[in-house]
Structure 1
């Protein structure tokens, strides 16, 4: 039996698109919300819009330009290199991003009658981002429910999956080829398999190769 309505935090990347397919299987009605924080790869907003349109779900873009102003990083500044130094968070970490995204998704969701929020955060392949941890999501879920006196449920279908497992999930959802060819994960803004060099592309490609090898071995 499907639940009523969900809102998916949607970037048009591998993870959030897999989550969108996951949500479409489980909820009677699904909407997507994308955040514009003047990110380096603005193309992701167009990709998200295109995917939502193709899959027949309502898509909303919210202006989060203040996040760009507050949190300079490699995803919002062309003059900051994409890198990760030992013992430090990657330069692509955006302070407070998931805190704000999930909070605004909840506010938007309540207005349209969505009790369920779906996000592609993952603790297994999370690059050390503190706002991708399960404990953070559970804590925020409690806080959102208290702050709005509402019973939201935040779903994290990828939380304990590595990238190979995420490809496997997409395959089970009959979305493998779609995710591989239509999504934008690359930090340099190249759709599908991407540039092959940035951390996001390397992680995606390693996961893909691991899953294909696993499947062939079966």
Structure 2
């Protein structure tokens, strides 16, 4: 099996951490970003800028049909961004998104003899999204292999990390400041620390503060 990987890439904290992780692990890395008419096209620009920074070949695939099939707060201005309540999924959940992203990524990967797919899904801080669970990824991995008669391996380096631990990984990889300043996680399209109010920002910034407290304690102890 070769050492080429394709990263499912949005330009956010998690996928950028995965991109850096992949660059450390694999001999050749490419990235794929999906245009599903998300609320902020700025996400596509940020992903392209980061890919250029790391000199990674970057593919952008059109999945506009997803917007038509699954109306949600990430694609519609008239749907409010709300966390899940009373057992309901968050309004930012997009039915089938990760399944489609990974399926199209696998099709693209096979054309260039690439066996490794990397995604930033996480069950620890998964906001209630069922398609971020480990059992789903393992199931889809088997399905992709059977459907194309091809040996894919889906890597999920963040699967069992909370946001504080994801920041620590970014620091260990040597890109803490870059990821903090140049990624777009905010549902309202604000770079870096974001708007500070949407669920994505709350999760990101809470984990950041937790990690900074730990790092500062370690630094004081070493002085």
Structure 1 unaligned residues grouped into runs of 5+: none
User: What does 1:164-203 correspond to in 2, within 5 Å?
Assistant: 164-203=164-203
Which residue is 1:137 aligned to?
Answer: 137
Residue matched to 1:22: 21
The gaps in structure 2 that reach 5 residues or longer are 219-223
Q: Which residue of 2 aligns with 1:108?
A: 108
Q: Secondary structure at the match of 2:154?
A: strand
Distance (whole Å) between structure 1 residues aligned to residue 47 and residue 86 of structure 2: 33
Q: Return the alpha-carbon distance in structure 2 between the equivalents of residues 18 and 114 of structure 1.
A: 20
Give, in whole Å, the separation in 1 of the partners of 2:13 and 2:35: 18
- Aligned with 1:59: secondary structure? strand
1:75 maps to 74
CA–CA distance in 1 between the matches of 2:86 and 2:92?
Answer: 14
The equivalent residue for 1:158 is 158
Q: Does 1:8 pair with 2:4?
A: no
TM-score of the pair, normalised by structure 1: 0.98
List, as ranges, runs of 4+ consecutive aligned residues in structure 1 with deviation greater than 2 Å: none
- Give 1:168 deviation, angstroms: 0.2
- Match of residue 58 from structure 1: 57
Report the Cα distance in structure 2 between the residues aligned to 1:128 and 1:4, rounded to whole angstroms.
33
**Could you say what secondary structure the match of 1:98 adopts?**
helix
Shift of 1:215: 1.2
Give the distance between the partners of 1:162 and 1:114, measured in 2 at CA. Answer: 29
Counterpart-to-counterpart distance in 1, 2:22 and 2:161: 17
CA distance in 2, matches of 1:98, 1:36: 13
When the two structures are aligned, how many residues end up with a matched partner?
217
CA RMSD of the aligned region, Å? 1.0
3-state SS of 2:27 partner:
strand
With 114-123 and 77-86 compared, the bigger mean Cα shift is at: 77-86
Q: What displacement does 1:86 show? A: 2.6
